[in-house]
Each structure stands twice: as C-alpha cells, then as structure tokens.
Amino acid sequence: MIEATTLHWIDWAIILAYLLFSIGVGMYFSARAGSSTEEYFLAGRTLPWWIVGTSMVATTFAADTPLAITEFVRGPGIWQNWFWWNMLLGGLLGVFLFSRLWRRAEVLTDNELLELRYSGKPAAFLRIFKAGYFAILYNFIVMGWVINAMAAVVSVVLDMDRWTAVWICVVIALIYAILSGFWGVVITDLVQFCIAMFGSIVLAIIAVDHIGGMEILISKINALGATSDAAHGTTLNFIPPIPETGITTIGFWESPFSKFLVFITIMWWSHHGTDGGGYIIQRMSSAKNERHALLATLWFNLAHYALRVWPWVVVAMVSIVMFPQIPNAFQDLGVKVGYPLVMNQLLGPGLKGVLIVSFLAAFMSTIDTHLNWGASYLINDIYKRFIKKDGNEKHYVIAGKIITVILMIMAAIIALKMQSISKAWEFIYAMGAGIGLVLILRWFWWRINAWSELTALGTSFMMTIILEIIAAVQTVSSGNVYVLFDKAPVLFGMTLQVHHKLMIIVPCAIIAWVTVTFLTEPEPLDQLRKFYQKVQPGGWWQPVVGNIAHTMEPVSHGFIREWIAGIMMIYGATFCIGNFVFGQTRNAMFLFMIACIGTYLIWTRTIKRLDHK
C-alpha cells in the first residue's frame, strides 16, 4: 500500500514562502485595484502582451489539468487529448478575429457587448441570464473540479485530511484575489506559470529516468497493453486507429475514431468559448491595444497547446507502468490519482516541495481568475446594471469582494459532490455546445438578434440537463449511488459519450436558433449601425453600413490565410515536440519546418501590419 508521507521541513519552507509571496502581492496592489471597477476587473486596460498571454496560459493550467490528462492517457490514450487539442481551430479565431474586436469594443465584460449589439428587453434579459449562467452554474462546476483535483493531490502527498489542506489553499487564494483584484491575478499568474512549468518538466524527467528511459517506458506500456484488457494498446497513438472494414454503423459511432472525427469537425466551432470565452475575453480587453491583444492570444495558444501538455503525458505514461492498478487506499479518487502517486513515490525533500508549490500555483491561478471573472459578471452585468445603478466605484469594488467570498464557498460545496474531472469537462462543453456559431456570426452578420443567442444557449443547456437527469435516473434505478457526471445516459441501447451528445445537441440547437432568427424581427438599424461603427468587423452588413466611413481595418480581411498559418505554426510545434519526446526525430524535424513556415507567414502578413503603438 502507498501511504501519504510527512513532508520534510525544506518542503514546508518552500510552500510557506510561496504562500507569503501570494499574500504580499495582494497587499501591494490593493490600493490601486480598489480605485475603480476597471482597475479591479481589467487592470486599467494597460497590460502588455506578454503579461496578458502568460496570464491566459496560467489560468487555464489548474491543479485539475495534469490529473485530467492522466485520466485521458490511462484510459483511451494520448489521442483523447483531441478533446481539447481541437479547440486550437477555434482558438485561432480568437487570435486573428476576436482579440482585436474585443479590444475595440471596450467593454468591461463580454456580457456588456450584448446591449451594444442587441436592443431592448431581450438584450437586457440575455445579459442578466448569461451573467448568472456563467458566473454561477458554469463557474461553480469549473472551480469545483479544480478544488476536487487539488484535494486528490493533497490526499496523496500531504499527511493531513485532504479537505483541510485545500481549505487552507482556498483561503490564501481568496485573500489575494479580494485584495488586489485583476492586478494581483495577472502578476501572480506570471510567477505561477513559471513554477508550474518547471515543476511538471522536472517531474517528467525524473519519472522517465526512474523507468530507465523513454524506449523502455514505451516497451513496458506496449507489454501491458498486450497482456491486459486495459486501453494501453492505444495509449501511444496521437490519432486513434481507423475501424476495420465491415464494422457496423453503430460499431463505427462507438469507435474512438468517430469521437476524433466529431472533435475536429464539430466541437471546435460549436462551443461557448468560440469567440474567446469569458476569462480569456477579460484578458483580451485588458491589453493596452489591438496589437498587444493579438500577440497575447497567439502566445497563449502556442504555450497552451504546444508547450504544456507533454510533461503531463509523460508522467501519466509512467504512472501506468508504476501503478497499473491504483492502490486500494486511493481507489475512491479514480485513475487521475496516478499523477500525484508518481510525485509521492519519486520526489525527495526540496523537489517535492517545489512540485507541491507548482500544483498550488496552478490551483490558485485558476481559482483567483474564476473568482474575479465571476464577480465581474455579477457586479457589472447584474448588480450595477439592474439593482444598484447609482453607486460609486468604491461601492461596486466592495460589493465585488463580498461576491467573491460567496462564490468561493459555493464552489467548495460543489467539489464535494464531484468525482471525475474529465467527465465534468465533457459536461461543461456539452452544456454550451450549440451556441458557438451564433457567437461568431453576431459579429459578422447583421441578421443575428438577441433571440438567436437565447435560443442557442437555452437549447444546449436544457438538452444537456435532460441527458444528465436521464443518467441519474438510470443510475439510481439500477441500485447504484448517483455521482455528479459519473455515468453516461443510455438511449436505444447505446451509451452516449461526449461526441454522441454533441451530434444530438449541436444540430438541434442550430435548427432552433436559425428558425427563431427568421421568425423574429432583426435588431433596429440604429442599434446595428452604432455597433458596426464601434468595432468595424467586416462581413455581411450590407443593409447596415450605408455611408459609414471605415476608420479601422476589418478583421475579416485575409483571415483564412492567417488561420491556416496559425494551424501550421501551433499544431506543427505541438506534434514536433511530441514526436521529439518519443524519439521520432524525422517526424519532429518535418513538423518543425511546418511550424517555422506558419510562424513566418503570421509575422510578415499579420503582426508587422499592425500598429506598433
């Protein structure tokens, strides 16, 4: 049996130093952040690209991320990472279209755009609905799985009750998030990203060395796959195998390859973050100008997809060899605990402290972001807009701090009910699966109205909840205990995986919102002209533009060329590194050349054309 061990005093000293640093940052920026809501939630729109982009990377790197990757690798295999690798195709929309458009819009939150783009009571209702939906429901689930992941790590590597230790971390994150607002978030994100990357790389190197090298690791995983019913036979594939000829239609759609196809053809443009996503949009809006917003988002996508994932994948592979079966003491935590088990087994004094701090850093960078972002929605889009319209800036900042505390407490309660992190990821994406096309087209097509967006979001939300209720009823009726997001529903004899849900939800949502769009009136021309004049996106605005003088370059010009170059750059870099790690040098060199060509095209055709102010 593997048991949690008591940390050396050196480890405790490293952890304490990091926590004191975090609180110090909060105290340092408290006065500046408290001066106005724009300072508290956007750092005064003065941030350079390298701070903004690194903050984006850090906030999407939480304690849950390496654990969810471990679930993927120990389950279906490396190819399951296409569940999020596919998002690059949409992330490049953020780079070349939406980073510049959000900066031009100059809104405090993305929900504020709704009353700039739409009009009347439908726009006001949509604003309050989306603010509550994402700040409360979405935020609670995300923060819940992040806390759940940190609890899993703590239970393995610390000799204390896992929830006691996590509550200590939560309180520290809460203190500096309340004190310093967005200023503290982005500054600590810089340090947190560096610590977290260093820790994950060091652990990967030590883990591979412990096994005897990459070749031995691969051979042992292949051997495990040949002698067990586990999925280790496909662990090393970047793309799942194509089903053999003669397979039935149902068999094909239950195959891993069908899931991969849905990921790369449907998922990337259909989800709720297609136009950037709330906390990424918050960072786009905080950049000092359009050029810095674009560069920040480009750096974020490069680091997010190419740089971070491979150390986690390697440690997950090592965990398969070291712990083919999760020890009984940690069975209730699931296979995700393989990652901290490797940490606990291989790291000595000092390094274990650094790795724990790396998890703390990842955990806190995500928690403080979601607290600040969620509070910005509830204050700017609900409280200030509909409840207390005449308050001063300091009043709204204080209200934001109170909301932050409430959000943290509620998220911790949700974490107690959650088991699988990757299943919670899938639920979140399904919940907003049908709205992506509306979020894109509202910038480029004049006919989209508030009812289009309400219908798309409402359809996705209701269908996802219904499917989860079906899963709950089936679980309870079979005599088992229902656990949030733990079981998939079964319809017509088929267990609905995430790609099956997308194939149901996305077409239904599109049919619903397109129908509603043409059955309802378009937005008033005055409202549309006001919006177009402010952001000048390009696209299909012929009835609206009239005599509007274009003072900014439409972002749609040359977009397809930029998008393809971005795919070459970032996917090329991602799989270049992956092939290099696994010893496939020839493939790595070819992909490196592809990445270099994409980088050159982006630099010469896009970045050099932007204003260098």
Phi and psi at residue 108, in whole multiples of 5°?
Answer: -75, -40
Residue 543 resides in a domain: no
Rg (CA), the chain: 24
Contact 482, 242 (CB under 8 A): no
Q: Quote the CA–CA distance of 359 and 153 in Å, as a whole number.
A: 8
Neighbours of 409 (CB within 10 A): 10
Tens of pLDDT, residue by residue over 121-168, are 999 999 999 999 888 888 887 887 788 777 777 777 776 676 676 677
Residue found under tokens 């953020």: 94
Q: Quote the CA–CA distance of 365 and 52 in Å, as a whole number.
A: 13
For residue 346, give its domain range. 9-35+47-53+61-232+244-523
Neighbours of 346 (CB within 10 A): 18
Output the pLDDT for position 102: 95
| 491-500 average pLDDT score | 82
Give the confidence band of 237 by pLDDT, cuts at 50, 70, 90. Answer: confident
| 55-74 average pLDDT score | 86
Q: Quote the CA–CA distance of 481 and 448 in Å, as a whole number.
A: 44
- Give the rounded distance of the alpha carbon of 203 from its chain centre: 23
Q: Is the per-residue pLDDT at 56 higher than 90?
A: yes
Domains: count for the chain: 1
Q: Lowest-confidence range among 60-64, 223-227, 499-503?
A: 223-227
Residue 550 resides in a domain: no
Q: How far is CA 449 from CA 120, 121, 126, 422, 445, in A?
A: 11, 12, 11, 34, 10
Burial class of residue 30 (count of CB atoms within 10 Å of its CB; 0-12, 13-18, 19+): middle
Residue 428 resides in a domain: yes
Give the confidence band of 211 by pLDDT, cuts at 50, 70, 90. Answer: very high
Q: Who contacts 500 (Cβ-Cβ below 8 Å, separation ≥6)?
A: 253, 494
C-alpha count within 13 angstroms, C-beta hemisphere, residue 304: 25
Of 105 and 547, more confident = 105
Residue 42 resides in a domain: no
**Cα distance between the two ends of the chain:** 60
Contact 287, 47 (CB under 8 A): yes
Output the pLDDT for position 328: 78
Burial class of residue 254 (count of CB atoms within 10 Å of its CB; 0-12, 13-18, 19+): middle
Percent of the chain with pLDDT over 70: 92
Of 243 and 83, more confident = 83
Give the confidence band of 425 by pLDDT, cuts at 50, 70, 90. Answer: low
Residue 581 resides in a domain: no
Q: Quote the CA–CA distance of 291 and 139 in Å, as a whole number.
A: 30
Give the confidence band of 411 by pLDDT, cuts at 50, 70, 90. Answer: confident
Residue 190 resides in a domain: yes
Residue 568 resides in a domain: no
Please report, for the domain that includes residue 156, its CATH number.
1.20.1730.10
> Bridge partners of 445?
540
Of 606 and 421, more confident = 606
Output the pLDDT for position 227: 44
Question: 45 is written with which tokens?
Answer: 């729109």
The amino acid sitting at 32 is: R
Give the confidence band of 528 by pLDDT, cuts at 50, 70, 90. Answer: very high
Q: Is the per-residue pLDDT at 214 higher than 90?
A: yes
Contact 564, 109 (CB under 8 A): no
**H or E element, residue 434:** none
Question: 441 is written with which tokens?
Answer: 């087209």
Give the three-state DSSP class for 159: coil
The amino acid sitting at 41 is: F
Of 193 and 333, more confident = 193
- Give the rounded distance of the alpha carbon of 593 from its chain centre: 29
**H or E element, residue 569:** helix 559-581
Q: Quote the CA–CA distance of 136 and 139 in Å, as a whole number.
A: 5
Neighbours of 252 (CB within 10 A): 13
| 3-26 average pLDDT score | 79
- The pTM score is 0.88
Q: Is the per-residue pLDDT at 103 higher than 50?
A: yes
SS3 content of the chain, % helix, strand, coil (to 5): 75, 0, 20
Q: How far is CA 81 from CA 250, 305, 485, in A?
A: 23, 10, 19
Q: Quote the CA–CA distance of 398 and 56 in Å, as a whole number.
A: 25
Q: Quote the CA–CA distance of 438 and 459 in Å, as a whole number.
A: 13
DSSP 351-406: HHHHHHHHHHHHHHHHHHHHHHHHHHIIIIIIIIIII-TT--HHHHHHHHHHHHHH
Contact 435, 509 (CB under 8 A): yes
Neighbours of 264 (CB within 10 A): 13
Burial class of residue 347 (count of CB atoms within 10 Å of its CB; 0-12, 13-18, 19+): buried
Instruction: Please give the DSSP secondary-structure letter assigned to residue 523.
Output: P
- Residue 150's closest CA among 450, 421, 435, 468? 421
Q: Quote the CA–CA distance of 117 and 446 in Å, as a whole number.
A: 9
